[in-house]
Every structure is written in C-alpha cells, then in structure tokens.
Structure 1
C-alpha cells in the first residue's frame, strides 16, 4: 500500500515509521487500524498515560465482519453455516448469517469477508434458495470484487456426475470477478463433518490472523434460537424403538411400502411438519459375507474405523458404503490395480458412469481383483455409510413422543444379480417391532407450512405424500382455517392408494378441501399428477391468486420437472404470461416461500 505523506504534519522520522507500518498492510488490518485511531481521536487530546489508557479501553478496534451465505435444499448446509456463525462469535469475529434467497447481491461490493456454503441439487443445479444469487453472480450485472476475501464450502454426493458443481461455480466466478480466496474451496462428500469442521477452523484462523479480533462477541440471534433442545444429533444419534412396522401397500401391488412408527420417549427430540428423520442403516449381511469370501478375508480380523477398533465384518456392515461405486473410489482402485482397461474406463467419465450404474463393490472386486489388498487398506478406501433421510409423515402435535416415516422398499435386478436399497430393504426385511435403530431429526425450514389461514396445494405421488399426512395432522390439531388440496398419484387404485382411509376421512370432515388422484396403470394411457394439475388449471390458478402455497415432494428426476412444466403451462394459459414471465412468476413464488420442493 502507498500513501502521500508530503503534506503530513508528522516529523520525518514519524513519517518514516508510518510508511514502514503501512507497507504491505491488508485491507482488513487497515479497517482495524482505522477503528483504533478513531478511538484515540475521540478520547481527547490529553497527553497523560491515563487518558490514553481510557481512550484505548473506551474504543476497542472494530471486529472484522464476516458475512455467511448458505444455499441449502435439505438443511445440512444451513446447519454448518450456523456452526460457523457461532464459532465466529467465539473468535471475536462479527458474523452475519443469511439465506442466499434473502441476500441483496448489491451488498457484495461492500463485504469485507465472505463465506459461501452451498449444496448441489439434481444434476449439478443450485438449491432452490440459491437460484437468484447464482444467476446474478453469473450474469452481466455482477460487480468487480477486487478486495473481497472469500471462501467456499461445497456439499455434494460423489456418486453423482456433477459432484459439488454449485460450490465450484461460485468459487470460479468469485475468482473471475477479482475476489481472493482466503482459504481454498473444500468439496465435501456425504461424510462431510470432518472436512467441514476443518474448513470452519481455517476460515476463522485466516480472518483472525489477517484482521485481528476483539473479545468474543454475542452469538447471533439466529444461531441462539436454533440451538437444539436435545442432546441427540447427526453426530450423536438417538436409539429409537420401533413401535409399528406395518405393510401399507395392498395385495397385488408390485411395490412394498411400509408405515413405520418410532418412539422418541425421553429423547427431547422435537420436529415440525416438513422435517425429515435421518436413519443410520445396516448393510445386508449376505452381501458382506460375499465380499469377505471374494477377498479371502477373515471377517473377525480387527481394523480401525473412525478411531475405533472393530471387526472387519462390523466395519463393512455398519460403517462403510459397499453398494455404490463413486468416481473417487474407482480412481483409487485403478491406481492399486494398475490395469490398462480400468485406467481407460476411469479416464472416460461417460463410460465410467455407465459401468458403475447398478453395480457395487462386489462387482468391482470380481472384475478387477487386487492381489495384495489388506483389510485395513480396503476400509480406508471406502467412504462412510451415510444416513438416509425420510420425510416425516406425522405431526408431533398429534402423536406426541412418536415419529412416523413412510418407506418404499427398493428391489431390482442388475447385471445378473438381485439388488436392494440399503436402508429401505433393511427396514422392510430385517427390522420389526421392538427392534432399535439410530436416528436423528433433520430440520427442513425450506418445506414448512404457512400461516393457518393460508390455502395450500400439496403434490405428492408415491411416498412423496408422506409430509402431507404430517401437514394435515398438524392443521387438524391447530384447527387451521386454510383450505387444503392434495394431488396424489401412484400405480393402482386398489393396491397403492397410500393412507387412503385417512384422506377419505379428512375429505369427508372438510379438512381436505379437494382431493385429486392419478393412478398410472389403471388405464391404457398412463396418467400422472401433472395431468391432474393441467385438468384443474383454472382452479389451481385461482387458488394461487388467493395466496395459496405450492408444495412438491417426491422424485426429482422426472416427476418434479414434469410438475414444474405443468405449473408453467398453467401460468401461461390462465395468467396470460409468456414463457419467460411464467418462469419469473414461479421464481417469485419461490422467493416468497410459496413454492417449496422436497425432491430427491
């Protein structure tokens, strides 16, 4: 940094010392110094040591300011952002915690330090609450950000092709706009806790080292309000007893859907309609045995897993992912196998994705065995077995110390072998009443009921209907006045009308104002929920004009885009909007928290 001292009232020696001090000073340190000098000036012109001390005590240096932005679809990223805010307060850093949907991008030019936490949704897309910010940053109006210090934490799932793309987009764009990374971007897989904690520590260390900090500041009100009441969490799951494990689908269904009720007694866990339950599953013991046989390993051999010593059999059953082949795993395996064909496969992302689809660790071992692979080396190669999230299908106001989930067992054949979903088959086949399972509550504020007086439109085919059972239980208990309209779809009326008796009762009692259903296999031409929406275009538009909130839950790959397109068509046909205006209309509903999606 340079400055003009020619007109300074300072002596030559003072000017020399000041120039030496200012040489190489950072912007954050300059802000600190400005605050300190302002305090000195405001303290008066007295020359005694006491006056100087009084001025120093009365005017402490201004704390460095960190703005924390989060883009989150399910809530994990928001939780990490809250942790960063709390830790910042402990370090004397003034932190502002903001949802990206609520952030005004024009403020970027005045930010001192910026932390961006973002998950990736769908096929590399930003989460719904990050769409506007992502679009602004990549648009023509994005400002130059020279002087901004930033860092990005990106959450994703390495089994998907566009792993952590949203965070990578933010990072590259900030750099292109002239901002400087104080800590390099970190991309987190489903076992994100350790990497995220290390990133939080390094970000705060960078700020404190560069700008200095005061005494610990008060934690933000947002963080304080959201402090969990229970001691149980993702890191410390609660052991819940299964009260009910009931087959929900009817005779003749080609799907197995189960209604499961869990006890939360004495846990202190609370939840709201729209939240999810995180379930820690167990791998199929048959598959574990086949893996041990294929490798020639003794299942009782001791290995180290997450700082604990367990048997290899336990490690593969409870702690490691063995049913998905991720690109990082394939790359590590190729390095060990040193096989030309495997190296070529890993180098071609399209071919790699095609080969790994529907295959698991046993397929990989059989295709490319590694002669000198040690048990501990295998454990170190595999990522943690992540919890599975299930939308809660009950209202705690109605069921008290219970939580209900709706689970569809996943079973299929692929590459000559029968396969199954890890958690869904475990819950369906090997868990019954009285058994215990480890769970935690995963809050989802992005999928919450509006005021009691507001109408809601709920679109939930298959097990996507689960949270809407919770919505109606809650509204019934609260005697809410708002109208309720449910669109439900599945394969067959006779066998797949999930919770049919409850919907019919609520319709008869008037709680459920409208009920429209679509059963795709009951007629020659397949019929889905989007067709119901289009058939009720005028009424859907009328409800939206009266302030109704839209909720969509279920399949992200096909259903959610088809429903979105149906809503665009309704806005165009009923509202007279062109395609761009219709998209803007739905985007505004999203900003107003009137178009919320829980899709997976």
Structure 2
C-alpha cells in the first residue's frame, strides 16, 4: 500500500490510466481540479458524501461499455491452495487490497488453475497451506505436481511471491510453500519478495506480507499499465456484516447429547440461531466458533505459575487482566513449537532442548500429541512472568465445524456435531477448548460468537441426477447429514449411499433415527455401517468399502461423486488405500493405474475430502 504523505494537504493528483478509462479525459480532468489542494479530512468527507450519492442513484439499465481484457503482463494472478479455508481467506484479502490499488487481479483455486498458462504468466502470487507432515492441500496436488515435475516450463518472464500457512507443531512446517518458492526460482522466475510462513495465528505475519505484496505488484505493473488497456475490476460484492473478524453473537437453540449412556464418547448435537444476521451457507461449508478456554484450566495455569489473574498485562497495543488473556485471547490447550522453545530455555532443560533438534523430531512429535501446555508447565518447572507468558502463548484461533444442516430445511439455523474432548492424562483431567465451551453453554443465557467459512472444494455435484457416495465415520458424518437434507429438499434424482462407522451400535450410532427415516423416505438409498468394537475383530468403514467393492466401483464407473470427511492421520489414508484396492480389483487395473484413476476423479472434483 502506498504510504501517506507527511503533509495534511493532498498532493496534486495525477490522473491514472484506470481513472481515464473509467471517466474519460474530460471528466477525469474535472475530478483532478476538484480534489487538488484539499486536505485529508475534506477528502475523507467527500468520499463519504459521494458514497451516499451513489447509494441513492438509480441503477443504469444500459449495458456496460465493453472493455478489452487485460493481457497477462498487466495482470496479477493469485493462486491459493487450502484445506481449511484460511489460504482462500488471505488470497481474497490480497485480491481486494490489490484491486483497491487499481490493479487487475484474477484469483483461482489451485485445482482450477490452467497450468498451461503458467508459461505466459508475468506476475504470480501463491498462497498455500501445508497439511500434516509436509503434504499439499487436496485441491493443490495437481498444481504442485506440475510445478515440481518435468513438464514445468522455464519461467524467466515470471515474477512471483509465496505466502505459506502451516502449524509449527509439525516438523515440516510450511514445507509446501518452501518447496514451491525454491522451485519457481529454480525455473528462472524472479522472486519479488521473500516467502513468509504463517503459523496457526496467521494474522500478524500475513498482514505485513500482503501490504508488501501489493506495493511490489503496484510497482511492477505501474509501467505496463500506461501501455496496456486495463480491464476495469468488477464491483466487489459488499463484505458480509459478520465475519471471522466480526463474528455474530448467536443464540443457542439446542445442546443435546446424542451418544447413549455408557458411551466412551460424549457427542453433542448443537443448534444455533443465525437470526437476522444475513449469514448463509451451503452443505459442505463450516461454522467458525470463537471459544473461551475452560475456567478450570485458567485457574490451573494461575496456580501452577503462582501468578495473579488480576495483573494487568499488555500485548499488541492492548492491556487486559491476565485472567482475561488466558480465558479469551490465548491458546492454552494446544502446544506449539515456539512456546516449547521458550519454555525449554527458561527451564534450562537439556531434555526439552534435545527434542528441538533433528534427532529428536519423533519424540518432539509424540510430545505435541500427548501434552497440553499445562502438562509442560507441571513436568518442567520454569520461572514464567505474566508478561512473558502472554507474549509467548499463541493467539486463540476459531475452531471450524462442518455444518450438519441444510438451510433449505432449517432456515436461519446452523447445526453442528461436536465430540467433546474430555480425558484423563498424567493424573489430571484434560478438556478441549471449543468442545468444552460449546457443551457447557446454556441456551437461556449464553451466546456463541460464530461466522460462516465457505468451502468451495467440498460441494454437492451440480447435476442433481448424479449419485453420491459419502464416507463419514464419527463426527465426520456431519456434512453428510446436510447433504442428505439438501438433496431431499431440492428433489435431486441421484442415489445417496452413506458409509458410517463408530465404536458401538447401541450407544454411538449418531443420528440413527434420522438415517432410518431417510431410508424409508428414499432420500437415503444405502447405508453401510461399521461398529469397530461390537465384535472381536475390529471393523472400520474401509472394511465395509472393500466388502461392497463391486458395487462401489460400479457407482464410480457410472459417474458417482465420492466424498470423505473425518480424521486425516489414519482414517483418510486407510480409506484412500481401500479405494485403490477396489479400483484395482474390480476395474482390472494395476495399483499404479488405479491410483491415477482416483487422481482423475479428484481433478474432476468427483473425489472430494474434508479431513482434519
């Protein structure tokens, strides 16, 4: 973004080609004379006045004047790859900032980017996340494979920049962005600014990088903009009133346990009212929830570190009591590498410091899985001050829950399926932040801060006659409740087949009566169940897939779309392996060809996953 001049008086305006293209020579000259010499206060008032005039002006019925399309070297292309939606969020923010600076911008999901155009690109920004242990998001696999592969062209004409998102708790933090950044440079492209890596709390790093990226793009395209015809950007739709940064305070309508007495898991069906918020969603989208940390966990922190909850502490220009920082602002239930590094130094623990070396990576990963922050504080004592603790902990981030409802059926409501994290470890009780928060809300008094996170890569097929297979063990069944509701309400003709798995039939058959009713009504055509602990040999959804392999393959061969939702580390790879087995066995293909066929389904958006 261009820095403001030191003086309060605006400089003499230079009419840009963009303004001339919009208003014409005569009107743009009048505009220049009008604003010349006005101070910043007057200019701000004038912009508000003109916005009010625009709001009252009638829309013109005449067709817009056709504008030639921008050639590639006068355009910024932004490609994003996302698993949870954060990369898309930042890519869209980057696009808005760039367009507000008068640039022509196109934004594409990595799975939709036509890689043959890479040879002609002149300015490319990539915003991409890393999943698990160094993997690209599902929708970016083809894009990454092309750039990293032998078919990638030389790119001496390209200027680029990469913004990475990841979780520093993983050893291969932001690995995908690092590899892409290095590969683009290897292909001859010029790096406009250094790669930035964003942790789970991505805002601080992302904001500075986006500002720099827009400045560099503006400088790069400025000279070309005087010689090329620039496509006028379309008016962006108004930003929603409620968003991640400005969540809606939703009334809680229902908080019902849907696992039976004696079940090993407490799973809740949560319903919130969206009221007159204007928030809308589609099946496949998520509801973001801003939680508070469990009060008992906050008390344990204060007691363990012998700190006063009322002590005033400042961070990022804000001053709050320590108890409020710990309750509502900072991450207490998830351990991160930066905090571990600082704690190891304060505790002067060679054992912890050894975990941070390459040789200790496996033990480090095990520690992150088994320990919360409070466990670290208890096992390795360290002299934390209130100020240093607040600076070292990560900012609390919203939790995303797949929506378990269709608005065509429930209207201005949003339904969630939430597994409550509540377990014993190291002799003490451990709670999850958001699940504990939601499960203890009282509908009569409490409200929940929420927003909608759209997920374009997990969508029902556009063709209502297309069959769908849904694989969703545990709470992974949530979006498929929405899918079945949506297909029933819209009168879709395609068949619906659900694979669901849990531990026990009697106590953990989530939404049992709804599925039985859907089978009766014909909105669910087949239901395959796997309850792992109801017999001596454990049975999972991947086993049921193999048992029904002939029919599964017939559905896929006949054009069905395939959806998987749930846990990423074990379930998703096991299901993927079962699908390869099925395609190989019943399609008469080698395992390599079966994997390639499955990749083709992914490219056609007929194999979509929402895994976490």
Where 2:78 maps in the other structure, the secondary structure is strand
Residue 132 of structure 1, CA deviation: 1.0
In the aligned structure 1, how far is the partner of 2:192 from the partner of 2:394?
Answer: 28
Aligned partners of 1:86 and 1:219 also within 8 Å: no
Residue 422 of structure 1, CA deviation: 1.5
Q: Does residue 173 of the first structure (1) align with residue 183 of the second (2)?
A: yes
Q: Does residue 409 of the first structure (1) align with residue 390 of the second (2)?
A: no
Q: Against the structure 1 CA distance between its residues 220 and 508, is the aligned structure 2 distance closer, same or farther, given a 3 Å change threshold?
A: farther
Tell me which structure has the larger Cα radius of gyration: 1
Q: Against the structure 1 CA distance between its residues 354 and 332, is the aligned structure 2 distance closer, same or farther, given a 3 Å change threshold?
A: same
Aligned to 2:569: 557
Residue 437 of structure 1, CA deviation: 1.1
Q: Does residue 259 of the first structure (1) align with residue 265 of the second (2)?
A: no
In the aligned structure 2, how far is the partner of 1:261 from the partner of 1:160?
Answer: 33
Q: Against the structure 1 CA distance between its residues 341 and 561, is the aligned structure 2 distance closer, same or farther, given a 3 Å change threshold?
A: closer
Spell out, residue by residue over 1:79-98, the C-alpha distance to the aligned partner (whole angstroms, 9 max, x if none).
Answer: 22122222222222222212
Q: Does residue 283 of the first structure (1) align with residue 290 of the second (2)?
A: no
Where 1:212 maps in the other structure, the secondary structure is helix
Of residues 441, 447, 450, the one that matches 2:452 is 441
Spell out, residue by residue over 1:181-237, the C-alpha distance to the aligned partner (whole angstroms, 9 max, x if none).
Answer: 11111111122123222212111211222441659966756x946x55x31111111
Spell out, residue by residue over 1:61-90, the C-alpha distance to the aligned partner (whole angstroms, 9 max, x if none).
Answer: 987321111111222212221222222222
Aligned to 1:66: 76
Aligned runs of 1:463-542 on 2, under 5 Å? 463-542=475-554
In the aligned structure 1, how far is the partner of 2:527 from the partner of 2:189?
Answer: 52
Length, aligned pairs only = 541
Residue 172 of structure 1, CA deviation: 1.6
Aligned to 1:53: none
Aligned partners of 1:246 and 1:260 also within 8 Å: yes
Q: Does residue 205 of the first structure (1) align with residue 181 of the second (2)?
A: no
In the aligned structure 1, how far is the partner of 2:502 from the partner of 2:390?
Answer: 40
Aligned partners of 1:120 and 1:155 also within 8 Å: yes
Of residues 356, 359, 367, the one that matches 2:371 is 359
In the aligned structure 1, how far is the partner of 2:540 from the partner of 2:213?
Answer: 48
Q: Against the structure 1 CA distance between its residues 555 and 97, is the aligned structure 2 distance closer, same or farther, given a 3 Å change threshold?
A: same
Where 2:292 maps in the other structure, the secondary structure is coil
Residue 306 of structure 1, CA deviation: 4.4
Aligned to 2:136: 126
Range that drifts further, 102-111 or 559-568: 102-111
In the aligned structure 1, how far is the partner of 2:365 from the partner of 2:526?
Answer: 43
Where 1:466 maps in the other structure, the secondary structure is helix
Aligned partners of 2:74 and 2:230 also within 8 Å: no
Where 2:457 maps in the other structure, the secondary structure is coil
In the aligned structure 2, how far is the partner of 1:543 from the partner of 1:279?
Answer: 36
In the aligned structure 1, how far is the partner of 2:413 from the partner of 2:221?
Answer: 49
Where 2:356 maps in the other structure, the secondary structure is helix
Aligned runs of 1:318-333 on 2, under 5 Å? 318-333=328-343
Aligned runs of 1:81-230 on 2, under 5 Å? 81-212=91-222, 214=225, 224=236, 228=239, 230=240
Aligned partners of 2:338 and 2:392 also within 8 Å: no
Aligned partners of 2:121 and 2:157 also within 8 Å: no
Residue 365 of structure 1, CA deviation: 2.6
Where 1:241 maps in the other structure, the secondary structure is strand
Aligned to 2:40: none
Aligned to 2:601: 589
Residue 333 of structure 1, CA deviation: 2.8
In the aligned structure 1, how far is the partner of 2:338 from the partner of 2:282?
Answer: 36
The TM-score normalised by the length of structure 2 is: 0.84
Aligned partners of 1:74 and 1:446 also within 8 Å: no
In the aligned structure 2, how far is the partner of 1:419 from the partner of 1:367?
Answer: 15
For the aligned residue pairs, the C-alpha RMSD in angstroms reads 2.4
Spell out, residue by residue over 1:329-351, the C-alpha distance to the aligned partner (whole angstroms, 9 max, x if none).
Answer: 12233344444444333333333
In the aligned structure 1, how far is the partner of 2:171 from the partner of 2:248?
Answer: 33
Where 1:357 maps in the other structure, the secondary structure is helix
In the aligned structure 2, how far is the partner of 1:458 from the partner of 1:342?
Answer: 43
Q: Against the structure 1 CA distance between its residues 253 and 218, is the aligned structure 2 distance closer, same or farther, given a 3 Å change threshold?
A: farther
Aligned to 1:7: none
Range that drifts further, 198-207 or 581-590: 198-207
Aligned partners of 1:337 and 1:369 also within 8 Å: yes
In the aligned structure 1, how far is the partner of 2:231 from the partner of 2:376?
Answer: 52
Q: Against the structure 1 CA distance between its residues 143 and 496, is the aligned structure 2 distance closer, same or farther, given a 3 Å change threshold?
A: same
Aligned partners of 2:472 and 2:500 also within 8 Å: yes
The TM-score normalised by the length of structure 1 is: 0.86
Of residues 262, 269, 273, the one that matches 2:279 is 269
In the aligned structure 2, how far is the partner of 1:599 from the partner of 1:354?
Answer: 21
Aligned to 2:258: 248
